[in-house]
Amino acid sequence: MGLTMSDLTQPHDRFFTKAFSRMEIVEDILINNVPALAALIVSGTFENTGEKLVNPELGRYYSDILLKARRNNDGNVFLYLLLEHKSFHKPDVSFDLNGYMMQIWNKVKVPGERLPFILPIVIYHGKSRWTSETNFASLVDVPPGMEEYVPHFNYYLFDLSRYSDDEIKGAILSRVILLLLKHIYDDNFGEQFIHICELLAELRNERTALEFLRSVLEYVGNASDRITREQVREGVKKALPQAGGVLMPTLFEQIKEEGREEGREEGREEGREEGREEGREGMLEMLELALELKYGNDGLTLYSKIRKITSIEKLKDIKKIIKTDRSFGELIDFVNAL
C-alpha cells in the first residue's frame, strides 16, 4: 500500500525540526551551502527562536524554523528556513515568504531603529528541479514603467535536486540529513539508504551514530515505502558494523503497523480471519527483523517460538520489551511465560 500525502507531511516536519534543532548542524549546513553567510555571521551564535509561522492550511506544503545569529558588525540577523516537503514545488512561495517576513518584523521592530536583516531560505527536495522565479516581483502583473513601486526581494533557493551527492558539503551528520531529504522520493531509495548509512559509519562516536540512526529510521519508515526489510538490515549494519544489532528498526514497525491495524479492523468489521492474520504476519515480520538486529542468531532462535503466538496483543508486548534496554534473558522469560 502506498503512502498518502497526509502520511508524508508530518514525517518531513518531524525530521526537519529535530535535525535542525542542533545549532552546530544548522550552522555547518548553512555555512557550507550558503557561502555568503560565512562573512556575515559570527560563528557559534546561531539560536532557534522557536517561532513557527506556517499556518495550518499550508502545513502540508511547508515546515519552517526561524533562526537568529549575531552579525559580524554587531546587531542580529534572522534566517528564516522554509522546507518545501512536496515532490513538486509551489510556484508562489515568495508570496508566503513575504507574509512571514512581515510577521517577523512586526514582532522585533524597535521604534526609531532600522529593521533587522532577514534572509529567507527555501530548502527544496522534490523530484524535479525548481523552475519558479525566486523574486517576489515576478508574481505581480506590473505595468510598464511601474517596476520601482513593486516590492523586490529574492529568497535563497537551496534546491537539492541540482546538486550531485558529492557536491553536498559539510560534516557527516549534515550530509546525511541533506542526502536523506534529497533522495527520500527516489524510486531506488532503498539503495540510496544503504549508501547514506555507509556515511554514518564514518562517525567516530558510535553512540551519536546510534542516536541519529534512530531518527533516520523513524523518518524513513514514515516517509518512504520504496525500501525493503533487507535493505534496512544492510543499511543498519553498514552504519553500525560493531553494534548494529542494538537498534530497534522502527522503519518496518511503521510500515507493517499500517497493515496490522488494517487487518485487525477488517477482521473486526467483516469477521474475516484472513484480515487478522494479515495484521499478525506484518507484526511478526517486524519482530523478526528487530530480533535479528538486536540479538543476532539468538534472537532468530527465539523468533521460532514467538512465531507460534497467535495473539497480536501479546506480540505487541514483546515489541515493547525489545524497544527497551531489558536483557535478552528477561525477554526469554517473558516469552516462556506466555
Work out the angle between the directed axes of helices 273-295 and 229-239 (0-180°, nearest 10). 20
Same domain flag for 74 and 219: no
Please give the Cα distance from 17 to 82 (Å, whole number): 11
pLDDT tens per residue, the chain (338 residues)?
Answer: 344 444 444 788 889 988 999 999 999 999 998 888 989 999 999 999 999 999 877 777 789 999 999 999 889 999 999 998 766 677 889 999 999 999 999 999 999 999 999 999 999 998 888 989 999 999 999 999 999 999 999 999 999 999 999 999 999 999 999 999 999 999 999 999 999 999 998 988 877 887 788 788 878 877 887 888 789 888 988 888 765 544 444 444 544 454 445 445 544 554 455 556 656 777 787 788 778 767 777 888 899 999 999 888 888 888 888 876 577 888 898 998 88
Same domain flag for 41 and 125: yes
C-alpha distances out from residue 115 to 77, 78, 119, 150, 317, Å: 10, 11, 12, 19, 56
pLDDT for the residue 187 = 92
pLDDT for the residue 243 = 55
**Boundary-marking domain end, from 215, 244, 273:** 244
Q: Residue 204: inside a domain, yes or no?
A: yes
Same domain flag for 239 and 209: yes
Would you say the pTM of this structure is higher than 0.85? no
**Boundary-marking domain end, from 244, 271, 292:** 244
Q: Which domain holds residue 26?
A: 1-131+153-176
**Boundary-marking domain end, from 143, 176, 209:** 176
Please give the Cα distance from 135 to 114 (Å, whole number): 23
228 closest CA partner among 289, 159, 314: 289
pLDDT for the residue 14 = 85
- Total structural domains within the chain: 3
12 closest CA partner among 127, 156, 153, 180: 180
Same domain flag for 234 and 268: no
pLDDT for the residue 198 = 93
pLDDT for the residue 273 = 55
Q: Residue 148: inside a domain, yes or no?
A: no
